[in-house]
Amino acid sequence: MIYIGNHLSTSDGFLKMGEKALELGADTFAFFTRNPRGGSAKEIKPDDAKALIRLMEENNFGKLVAHAPYTMNLCSATEDTRKFGLEMLCDDLKRMEYLPGNYYNFHPGSHTGQGVETGIEQIIEALDKALESDLSTTVLLETMAGKGSEVGSRFEEIKAILDGVKHTEKMGVCLDTCHVYDAGYDIVGDLEGVVAEFDRVIGLERLKAVHINDSMNPMGSHKDRHQKIGQGSIGYEAFKRIITHPAFAGKPFILETPNEDDGYKAEIAWVRANM
């Protein structure tokens, strides 16, 4: 059994997102903590957050998977960009405490020519400044496709960040099916091998959430182009194996496919029918 949902808009507040999730047949969802391509964040209304918590408890929701903005780059070669990213990270983790005990997912970043090792060091430095021992949120590193100078397309890079952070107990991983496939991990032909490799390098206890997306491109393309479930190079049969694999049991699965509400509702129904 897994939890399944999709990205929802925060425009009408927290409770409305929960109600929309139920309307689509979901029992989890994702949302951007602030403008995904900017940095501005809406004011949080505590009563609205409490109303969502009640709705989630009444309807047996899984954990939510909040998403940092794409503009947050903790390992840019530009110091001001790194500083801006750290400010957003620190503020987002404070805001997440209105919805305690959930997940905050982010792209590790792009080293923009500095090299992977330097990028990893800078990500660790930022996380050490942001993570506190009393934080109820678990911060997730997302597996990446390896486009450009992205950090995190190899399990070893994710592991290096996890090992380097002081409060490593506050960290986990969100596995993106499109990203790992585009990065060269054969989840179609050798899912067991990929799961075993993840466990060997990172440890399955670190896997907290899954972004469930098909890919427009072949394995190892490093392109990061999401497709609707079953309509890309991963395909329906592979997703049937993924959603029923014991390693993913109990995890929140988040759809980031190119859909509107009707499409997400249909994909959620397909996942439920094949679980």
Catalytic residues: 37, 67, 70, 107, 142, 176, 179, 211, 224, 226, 256
Question: Cα–Cα distance between 223 and 99 in angstroms, integer?
Answer: 33
Taking the C-alpha atoms of 207, 179, 67 and 9 in order, what is their torsion angle to the nearest 10 degrees?
Answer: -120
Which amino acid appears at position 16 of this protein? Answer: K
Question: Cα–Cα distance between 195 and 180 in angstroms, integer?
Answer: 11
Do the Cβ atoms of 274 and 235 come closer than 8 Å? Answer: no
Q: What is the number of residues in the chain?
A: 275
Packed helices 14-24 and 46-58: angle between N→C axes, nearest 10 degrees = 30
Question: Cα–Cα distance between 57 and 263 in angstroms, integer?
Answer: 26
Both tokens assigned to 59: 């309807």
Residue closest to 274 by CA, chosen among 247, 250, 240: 240
CA 272, 17, 23, 267 dihedral sign is negative
Which amino acid appears at position 114 of this protein? Answer: Q
Do the Cβ atoms of 31 and 66 come closer than 8 Å? Answer: yes
